């Protein structure tokens, strides 16, 4: 029954489909000028829920088409080409719809019993319009990579974590959460190991085209990605290493004045891909030493890893770089022995040490502390990593705000420009001690965006931190069965001496 009390007994499915088409036409023909800003946003959200619910109807329709063998009778043979030819879909779109159906659909077995969905929680949320098809697609990807002998409780908890995040989060973040889940359910690399990744590594220079240009294809390891990200953060920023600008700063230049770089950036008309190309070209020039690249946004141009103390002790989990790349803790420690990156180990509270400066600009040590705490831009929803951020004064320097670590926060250039005292300006505050996010930076949106003025934090860079406590209870027995090492849970582990660290604090309450 719908909100108007109409049921399938009152009118046929065809009539309902016609009613949806009529309503769609009415909405498209309506005029929006009389709506307030809040009404427009509300309408967008309502329609998005409706579109998601309609998208979920693909599942029972595809199941029905399969039970009637429509794909075979049409000559298409399989369901994907049948959907492509019938609905005019791309191969990718049709394939995704079929995969979603297999994971979210209820199929009648030969015994006559109806089998529940493979992902029941995702299926329920999808049908209710709470999550999108993209959410479901990424949830499927994560769940399909979990070890087969993970107990049902752990698998269900992992699905619940992904679905709960999806209700208010972004599809793109689910793979990051999935990597964190897998790192804890499979810390010994029995499913996806560093050796597996190294076997897949490879870069192919294809044949040059008629114009002499060559296409590059391949896969690079997380370690190489981390090294390249560190160099590209500086060399591929607007204004740097521009082959079309003779006055552009290069990799050989030492200290670069802000005025010089800003002027070069103003002349830069390259896109991101072209800047990356020119940065790689500059990096491979004779005489360029990566160790002499200096700093970028106040941080050294080298790999900077952050990891929790519990993961550091146990050798499990992932370490995160300034650019947001995730590397297994074990591989990060190997890199530490060879290339000497900066490693920041967070304490039991997940907060760095207090640092204070009397100058306006943050020191290198303070920026490294911000990297450990914030990991990236702190405005809710922003996914820019630390390598693309500047140190922002929460209480402005001009208003007496000190350059102390508890008055600093990472903000990317775009978000930083949103902060002002005008009616459309954003404001920043330090979350109080009674907040579950104590010490972190809260952003207050203008009233046109959030009339309540509630300060909110950005969890996009911290999505993996809630995984530990949620998965631990279910995988404790599983880990003791599959590991030849002393019995331990996925996360907290036994105490052991590692590089002078002899005790493990309680797991942080991440909120």
* 328/460 Cα distance (integer angstroms): 19
Which residue shows structure tokens 């599942």? 59
| pTM greater than 0.85 | no
pLDDT of amino acid 496: 29
Q: What's the CA gap between 413 and 377, in Å, rounded?
A: 9
Rounded CA-CA distance 75/92 in Å is: 20
SS3 (DSSP) at 344: strand
Dist. CA 292–CA 276, nearest whole Å: 19
* Contact between residue 362 and residue 298 where contact means Cβ atoms under 8 Å apart: yes
The DSSP 8-state label assigned to residue 342 in this structure reads: E
- For residue 274, count other CB atoms closer than 10 A to its CB: 15
Helices (H), 68-151: 70-73, 79-87, 91-104, 120-127, 133-144
| Cβ atoms of 240 and 252 closer than 8 Å | no
* Axis crossing angle, helix 58-67 with helix 91-104, rounded to the nearest 10: 90
- Kindly write down the DSSP assignment for every residue of 29-68, as one continuous string: HS--TTS-HHHHHHHHHHHHHHHHHHHHTHHHHHHHHHHT
Query: pLDDT at position 75, please?
Result: 83
CB 445 within 8 A of CB 424: no
Residue 354: predicted pLDDT: 34
Q: Per DSSP, which regions of 378-464 are E strands? A: 389-393, 403-404, 408-412, 427-430, 441-444
Spatial CA neighbour of 421 closest among 396, 390, 397, 393: 396
* Residue 496: count of CB within 10 angstroms of its CB: 13
The residue behind tokens 């897998």 is 182
Q: What pLDDT score was predicted for residue 493?
A: 30
CA dihedral angle for residue 64, residue 68, residue 69, residue 74, rounded to 10 degrees: -100
Rounded-to-integer distance, Cα 473 and Cα 25, Å: 51
Distance, in Å, from the CA atom of 299 to the CA atom of 168, rounded to the nearest integer, reads 33
Please tell me the distance from the alpha carbon of residue 20 to that of residue 32, in angstroms, as a whole number.
20
Neighbours of 11 (CB within 10 A): 12
Evaluate whether 361 touches 298 at the Cβ level (below 8 Å): yes
Q: Quick one: how far is CA 186 from the chain centroid?
A: 20
Q: What is the pLDDT along the chain (511 residues), one digit of tens a residue?
A: 444 444 444 556 677 777 777 777 776 766 777 778 888 888 888 889 989 999 999 999 999 999 999 988 888 889 999 999 999 999 899 999 999 999 999 998 878 888 999 999 999 999 999 999 999 999 999 998 887 777 888 888 889 989 999 998 889 889 888 887 887 777 666 666 667 778 788 988 888 777 778 899 898 888 788 778 878 888 888 998 898 898 898 877 666 777 888 899 899 999 989 999 998 888 877 765 555 555 545 455 456 667 766 666 566 677 776 656 677 777 777 666 554 455 555 544 444 433 333 444 455 566 767 777 788 899 998 888 887 888 888 888 778 777 777 788 899 888 998 998 888 899 999 988 888 888 889 999 988 888 888 999 988 877 655 555 455 555 555 555 555 443 333 433 322 222 232 222 232 232 2
pLDDT given for residue 349 in this prediction? 45
Beta strands in 171-225, from DSSP E residues, in sequence order: 202-205, 216-219
Q: What is the CA radius of gyration of the chain?
A: 26
**269/273 Cα distance (integer angstroms):** 12
């Amino acid at each position: 029954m719908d909100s108007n009390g109409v049921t399938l007994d009152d009118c046929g499915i065809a009539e309902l489909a016609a009613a949806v088409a009529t309503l769609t036409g009415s909405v498209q023909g309506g005029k929006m000028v009389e709506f307030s800003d809040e009404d427009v946003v509300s309408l967008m959200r309502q329609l998005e829920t409706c579109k998601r619910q309609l998208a979920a109807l693909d599942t029972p329709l595809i199941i029905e088409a399969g039970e009637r063998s429509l794909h075979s009778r049409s000559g298409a043979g399989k369901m994907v080409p049948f959907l492509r030819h019938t609905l005019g879909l791309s191969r990718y779109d049709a394939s995704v719809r079929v995969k979603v159906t297999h994971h979210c659909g209820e199929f009648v077995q030969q015994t006559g019993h109806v089998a529940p969905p493979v992902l029941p929680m995702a299926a329920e949320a999808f049908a209710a319009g709470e999550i999108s098809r993209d959410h479901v697609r990424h949830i499927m990807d994560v769940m399909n990579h979990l070890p087969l002998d993970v107990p049902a409780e752990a698998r269900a908890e992992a699905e619940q974590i992904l679905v709960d995040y999806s209700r208010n989060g972004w599809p793109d973040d689910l793979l990051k959460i999935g990597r964190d889940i897998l790192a804890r359910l499979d810390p010994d690399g029995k499913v996806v190991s560093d050796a597996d990744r190294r076997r897949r590594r490879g870069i192919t220079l294809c044949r040059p085209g008629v114009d002499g240009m060559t296409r590059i294809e391949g896969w690079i390891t997380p370690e190489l990605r981390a090294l390249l990200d560190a160099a590209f953060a500086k060399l591929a920023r607007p204004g740097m290493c521009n082959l079309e600008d003779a006055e552009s700063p290069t990799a050989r230049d030492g200290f670069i004045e802000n005025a010089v770089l800003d002027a070069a950036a103003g002349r830069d008309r390259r896109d991101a891909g072209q800047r990356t190309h020119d940065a790689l070209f500059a990096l491979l020039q004779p005489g360029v030493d990566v160790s002499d690249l200096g700093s970028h946004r106040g941080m050294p141009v080298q790999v900077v890893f952050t990891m929790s103390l519990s993961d550091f002790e146990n050798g499990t989990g992932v370490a995160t770089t300034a650019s947001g790349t995730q590397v297994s803790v074990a591989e990060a420690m190997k890199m530490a022995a060879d290339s000497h990156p900066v490693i920041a180990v967070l304490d039991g509270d997940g907060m760095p040490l207090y640092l204070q400066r009397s100058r306006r600009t943050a020191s290198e040590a303070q920026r490294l502390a911000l990297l450990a705490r914030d990991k990236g831009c702190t405005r809710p929803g922003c996914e820019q990593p630390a390598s693309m951020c500047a140190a922002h004064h929460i209480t402005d320097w001009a208003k007496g705000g000190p350059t102390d670590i508890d008055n600093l926060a990472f903000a990317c250039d775009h978000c930083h420009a949103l902060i002002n005292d005008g009616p459309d300006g954003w404001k920043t505050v330090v979350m109080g001690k009674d907040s579950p996010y104590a010490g972190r930076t809260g952003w207050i949106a203008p009233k046109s965006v959030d009339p309540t003025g509630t300060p909110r934090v950005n969890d996009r860079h911290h999505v993996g931190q809630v995984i530990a406590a949620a998965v631990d209870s279910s995988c404790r027995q599983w880990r003791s069965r599959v590991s030849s090492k002393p019995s331990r849970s996925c996360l907290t582990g036994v105490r052991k001496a590692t590089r002078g660290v002899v005790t493990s604090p309680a797991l942080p309450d991440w909120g």
